Amino acid sequence: MNKIIIGIYDEHKLVQEGIMMLLKDAENIETGITVNSKNQLFESLRTMQPHILIINLYEMTTPNLNLITQINVNYPKIKILIISVHNEEDAVLKTIKAGAKGFLSKDTDRNELIEAIYIL
C-alpha cells in the first residue's frame, strides 16, 4: 500500500503537533505539511498536495467554509477531513456541502481518526 500523505492546517502549533503524534506510528500514513495560516496553506499547496488535508475548525464561519470550497475547487484531488467541536448535524452538512469529504468530532479517538483517513 502506498503512503497516505497528510496535511494539517491549524492555527495552533500544539494542536498540529498533537495530531502529528497521533498519526506518528500509523501504518502507511505520513505527515507532509503542517501550516498555521491560510497564506502558508496556499503557499505549501502550490508545491505539495497531500492526499488528505486535516482542517481543525474552531468556528463554522463563512470564511472557514469558503476556505474548504476554495481548496476543493483549486485542488480537487485533495480530500478534506474536518475536525471540529461543532458536531451538530447543521455544522457537518455545511462542511460537506462546502467540499469536505469527512467530518470528525473532537471527541474522536486516535483509532477513529486513523480509520477515517484510511476510508477517505
For residue range 20-42, list pLDDT tens digits in order.
Answer: 999 999 999 999 999 999 999 99
pLDDT at 1 over 70: no
Q: Return the residue matching grid coordinates 448535524.
A: 89
Set of cell numbers at residue 61? 464561519
Distances from the Cα of 79 to the Cαs of 14, 34, in angstroms? 23, 15
Residue matched to cell numbers 505539495: 48
Q: Looking at the chain, which runs of residues are DSSP E strands?
A: 4-9, 29-35, 52-57, 79-84, 102-105
Q: What confidence score (pLDDT) does residue 2 get?
A: 86
* Per-residue pLDDT band at 59 (split at 50, 70, 90): confident
- Closest by Cα among 18, 10, 22, 12 to 110: 22
Q: Predicted confidence band at 93 (pLDDT cuts at 50, 70, 90)?
A: very high
Q: Above 70 in pLDDT, residue 43? A: yes
For residue 17, how many other CB atoms are within 10 A of its CB? Answer: 13
Backbone angles phi, psi at 4, to 5 degrees: -95, 115
